[in-house]
Structure 1
Amino acid sequence: MTGHADDGVLVARARTGDTAAFERLVRRYSGPVYRIALRVLNDADAAQDVAQEAFVAAWRRLDEIRAGQAFAAWLYRIATTRALSAARRRGTAGQPDPVEEPDTGAPARTGDPVQHVLAEDLRGALWRALARLTPEQRACWVLRELEELSYDEIAEITRSGPDAVRGRIHRARTRLAEELSAWR
């Protein structure tokens, strides 16, 4: 899990009303929570809303974290559940064009403008292909490939079995490979 060793300390302090401790957790996890929501919803505004709702819910429900439970997994479950619920309410019809991932401080572009354009085109193709997956497949793929979580962690977050997670990720990878075959 991507959690930090002192998450438990910060959670314990936040439970006593220490808002500064919770603010540190928000700063630490705001990027991953937003990315998960953005990839599931494919809408920057809706993703921002879901991320904010997830942190508000986490603050209100801090007492629900079990001893030894990773804060990150618990928070990702809240964010993923809210994002999937929002995606189901919206349905797939009329979704906006795929939103590209915000610049995350990736290495600076090389001096080769052709390579830069090709990389940007591939990145856009990936986001468009992701938008065509089911929200559940997108969520599992994002948690595995972008957040680098294990199948068991994803199963816990999505409240599904590891076999279901493997199946969703397999179908997502297969579909992405088909959609991106021109880039091989």
Structure 2
Amino acid sequence: MVTVDLAERTDHELLNLHKDGDAEAFGELFRRHKDRMWAVALRTSRDPEIAADAVQDGFINAFRRADSFRGDAAVTTWLHRIVVNACLDRLRRIKPTADIADHDPVEQRDYHRSVEVRLDVREALEQLPEGQKMALVLVDMHGLSVAEAAQILEVAEGTVKSRCARGRAAMAQLLEPA
């Protein structure tokens, strides 16, 4: 019996092997993508504990629901969507009244700060509406295409583009020197 090293398999092949009962295939997918999913979860939640739990939830959901993968997107795009949704679910449990839908950009606040004190990107990002923040994290920080981000966030590509544009404009204002 000839065995092929799982590391040589594509993500699609590994997922199909997992669906067919291969006990090791999903572990290889996890090893390949856990760091990237951790980065997405951490940027989404801004909390290492929530991120760790969301990554775990996401991979467990992917393991159990592998049959839901239709194959019309990259496996990584599918995993991103699952992990982002796991993060948002955890955040909703913490702040059940928080609105994570997209809404107007934050109002420019009158900050009387000294010239030495500036908002860094992380602080500015946290002030954005959730929809804008997620679009910017996926497109600008993780380098996903607008189409991939749209699939992950389950919105139209135009929505991702407009969220990114509004988010960038709000970030530019927030990052202006005082």
Classify the TM-score, shorter chain. Answer: 0.7 to 0.9
Identity %: 31
Matched position secondary structure for 1:181: coil
> Relative contact order, CA 8 A, sep 6+: which one is greater?
1
Shift of 1:6: 0.8
Shift of 1:84: 2.0
**Residues of 2 paired with 1:81 and 1:145: CA distance?**
19
- Written as runs of structure 1 = structure 2, the 5 A alignment for 1:94-105 is none
Matched position secondary structure for 1:160: coil
Shift of 1:25: 0.9
Structure ID, larger Rg: 2
CA contact (8 A) 1:140 1:169 kept: yes
**Residues of 2 paired with 1:19 and 1:177: CA distance?**
48
Does residue 161 (structure 1) correspond to residue 166 (structure 2)? The answer is: no
Describe the shift of the 1:168–1:87 C-alpha distance in structure 2 as closer, same or farther (beyond 3 A).
farther
Q: TM-score, normalised by structure 1?
A: 0.74
- Written as runs of structure 1 = structure 2, the 5 A alignment for 1:58-137 is 58-91=62-95, 125-137=120-132
List gaps (5 residues or longer) in structure 2.
1-7, 98-116
**Residues of 2 paired with 1:147 and 1:5: CA distance?**
24
Q: 2:23 is matched with which residue? A: 19
Q: TM-score, normalised by structure 2?
A: 0.76
Q: 1:105 is matched with which residue? A: none
Letter aligned with residue 170 of structure 1:
A
Shift of 1:92: 9.4
Does residue 38 (structure 1) correspond to residue 42 (structure 2)? The answer is: yes
List gaps (5 residues or longer) in structure 1.
94-120
CA contact (8 A) 1:87 1:135 kept: no
Matched position secondary structure for 2:120: helix
- Find the partner of 1:171 among 166, 171, 175: 166
Letter aligned with residue 70 of structure 2:
R
* Poorly superposed stretches of 4+, deviation over 4 Å: none
